[in-house]
Amino acid sequence: MEKENELFGVKEIARRANVSTATVDRVLHNRTGVSEKTKAKINAIIKEMDYQPNILASRLASKKIISLAALIPDVSEETDFWSAPLNGIRRAEGEMRQYGVQVQVFLFDLNDKDSFSEQIRHVLEGGFHGILISPSFIEETKKFASECARRKIPYLFIDSDIPGLHSLAYIGPHLRKSGYVGAKLLTYRLEPAKKVLIINISKEIDNFNYLEIEDGFRAYFNDNNQPNEIVRIDIRETDYQSVARHLTYVFHLNKDIGAAFVTNSRVHTVASFLKNSHRTHVSLIGYDFVKENVDYLEDNVIDFLICHRPDDQGYRGMMTLYQTLVMNAPVAKQNYMPIDIVTKENYEFYQN
């Protein structure tokens, strides 16, 4: 019955448009070989009939496999943040499998640019129809994007964006507004004479993420005429001993720091330093709902965590590729996630 209804729909559209069913099929699947005038006529009839193609039947009949790749950081000893996007990717994979869609995940070391480049090479050699990627290294991502454009492979970014590249979509936080929210939270009990410390902990300090977040953070202080001096420190070594060494130095030079803002999920490393050095009076805000951060949130060392639903980012990223490649449906270029504020009082009820 489903097959009969499908054929009837296509045949009826073809009859009304005075074209072949093959021409209708080309329009339905966004293929070339149909004039703009004929395409417009067929689309008008499709809209008039409120015709909805049976995607499942069509996919099963074609027996064509759509293969997607996801390139994201591996879970590390420093943070398990990327386990959440991976869960979202797997959730989407489970829903798409019945439509002949396969997903392969590639993991790279977030602290190793060469690892990222090597996995990009594997992805591009894999012949995938669409790619989800976390653009953790800017120059390498630009080369990847150029190669995808040459091969006409759609790709999208999650968690962070690189403007100017022709990605299919971006799914993640509005980074500038996220930083703005962080500054607003940090100033609630901040004394005017106290300094504010911005802490970037990453081997890739020039990552668009950190720059946009910091820009939003500073914008709040400017917009609201906050008198506090802002001090910034970039720490490229991500292990605890290195972070503690750098922070010891900056706190020695700036004895009147009253608050600290960490631009990524490594806020727990700063929390550990503040606790070990008996500086828990310093207000502390950072990112992401990971176990280490939640432990310090519960211990009153971290005041707030800002979260961007990474599980949903992974899920929506894969489903966006599905919408494009299977459903031939248009997708939004920018897909901003909610900016959630997690505290000691509400973290038990938060779903990442």
pLDDT 10s digits, 294-346: 999 999 999 999 999 999 999 999 999 999 998 878 899 999 999 999 999 99
Provide mean pLDDT across the span 107-133: 95
The b/e string for 50-82 (b: 16+ C-beta within 10 A; e otherwise) is: eeebeeeebbeeeeeebebbbbbbbbeebbebb
Q: Which two tokens stand for residue 186?
A: 């940090």
Q: Does domain 175-307 have CATH number 3.30.200.20?
A: no
What's the pLDDT at 31?
A: 76
How many angstroms separate the first and last alpha carbons of the chain? 42
Sheet strands (E) in the chain: 66-73, 101-108, 130-133, 155-158, 169-172, 195-201, 230-235, 257-262, 283-287, 304-307, 334-336, 340-342
Does the pTM surpass 0.85? The reply is no
Cβ-based neighbours of 272, under 8 Å, separated by 6 or more:
240, 244, 296
55: pLDDT strictly greater than 70: no
CATH number, span 10-53: 1.10.260.40
Residue 171 CA to residue 316 CA, distance in Å, equals 7
Alpha-carbon distance 67 to 56, whole Å? 16
Q: For residues 331 and 329, what is the distance between their CA atoms, to the nearest angstrom?
A: 6
Q: Please state, in angstroms and rounded to a whole number, the distance separating the CA atoms of residues 148 and 164.
A: 14
Taking the domains of the chain in order of start, what are their residue ranges? 10-53, 66-173+310-338, 175-307
Query: Could you tell me what percent of the chain has a pLDDT over 90?
Result: 72
The rounded mean pLDDT for the chain is 90
What type of residue is 330? P
Q: Is the dihedral of CA 293, 296, 297, 301 positive or negative?
A: negative
CATH 3.90.320.10 fits 66-173+310-338, yes or no: no
Predicted pLDDT at 176? 96
DSSP structural state of residue 71: E
Query: d(Cα 148, Cα 189) in Å, to the nearest integer?
Result: 48
